[in-house]
Amino acid sequence: MSATEYIFASCKQWHRPYFEALKREIPAHWLWVSQPAELLAALEQTTPRYIFFLHWNWLVPKIVWQRYECVCFHMTDVPYGRGGSPLQNLIVAGHSSTKLTALRMVEEMDAGPVYAKRDLTLSGTAQEVYSQAGALSADIIRWMVAVQPEPVPQEGEVVLFRRRVPEQSRLPQSAELDQLYDLIRMLDADGYPHAFIDYGEFRLQFRNVQREDGQLTAQVVIKRTNIEAENDC
């Protein structure tokens, strides 16, 4: 009897340890894919029980989510917060916690039925929140593999989030310190456009922000402004 097959899809290397842990713990054929071409190549050789999408920057072809049970992980209590840049939009809206939701992929973004929700704090840097979300995603995957749950349709008012663009990472000229603190930390993750200001021909990017005694301290990286534009979040 052949082993059950699972595909773990993420374009973020910080998810790799969770994949390796699942591969060690659960007897099955586990495949890691990080690009659309890798996903399609894997599907030519395997018939996965689930495809788990932890962080994926591309549109999944209809033929894939129709043929296979595709599970995506979204950082809001859907139907609230469907759409792009959930972490950043939640923090801007004043939230200090949220739900990590595992849902079945359908044609409409983040509109599929829900397998599970887990509490997720929004404190710390974006990188810290993403790491915690990765650990929670792995826990949900363990549970799904064991239980094989049926997803439940979403209920409630739909609230859509818009994907942020790099220009929104610019620090405002007028703001409260708490707002600046949140803006810097919510963009502080590998591969994301960090909070910045432009000074003449230079761009100053901010990371590792700390708040103490009514002031902020942060690490600053200075680059010339003719650098290539970074990816949006």
d(CA 37, CA 120): 32
Q: What b-and-e string marks burial along 13-34, b requiring 16 or more CB atoms within 10 Å of the CB?
A: ebbeebbeebbeeeeeebbebb
Two structure tokens written together for 121: 């704090």
Q: Which CATH architecture has domain 166-224?
A: Roll (3.10)
* Per-residue pLDDT, 184: 97
d(CA 7, CA 199): 45
Q: How far is CA 68 from the centre of its chain?
A: 21
Give, as one character, the DSSP assignment of residue 26.
S
Total residue count of the chain as it appears in this document: 233
d(CA 66, CA 35): 19
* Per-residue pLDDT, 191: 83
Q: Which CATH architecture has domain 5-161?
A: 3-Layer(aba) Sandwich (3.40)
* Per-residue pLDDT, 225: 84
Q: What is the pLDDT along the chain (233 residues), one digit of tens a residue?
A: 468 999 999 999 999 999 999 999 999 999 999 999 999 999 999 999 999 999 999 999 999 999 999 999 999 999 999 999 999 999 999 999 999 999 999 999 999 999 999 999 999 999 999 999 999 999 999 999 999 999 999 999 999 999 999 999 999 999 999 999 999 999 999 888 899 999 999 999 999 999 999 999 999 999 998 754 444 44
Conformation bin of residue 193: beta by default, left when phi > 0, alpha when psi is -120 to 50? beta
* Per-residue pLDDT, 3: 83
Q: What is the pLDDT of residues 21-43, one digit of tens each?
A: 999 999 999 999 999 999 999 99
Q: What are the domain boundaries of the chain?
A: 5-161, 166-224
* Per-residue pLDDT, 227: 54
Q: Please tell me if the domain spanning 5-161 has the same topology as the one spanning 166-224.
A: no
CA atoms within 13 A on the CB side of 100: 23
pTM score of the predicted model: 0.92
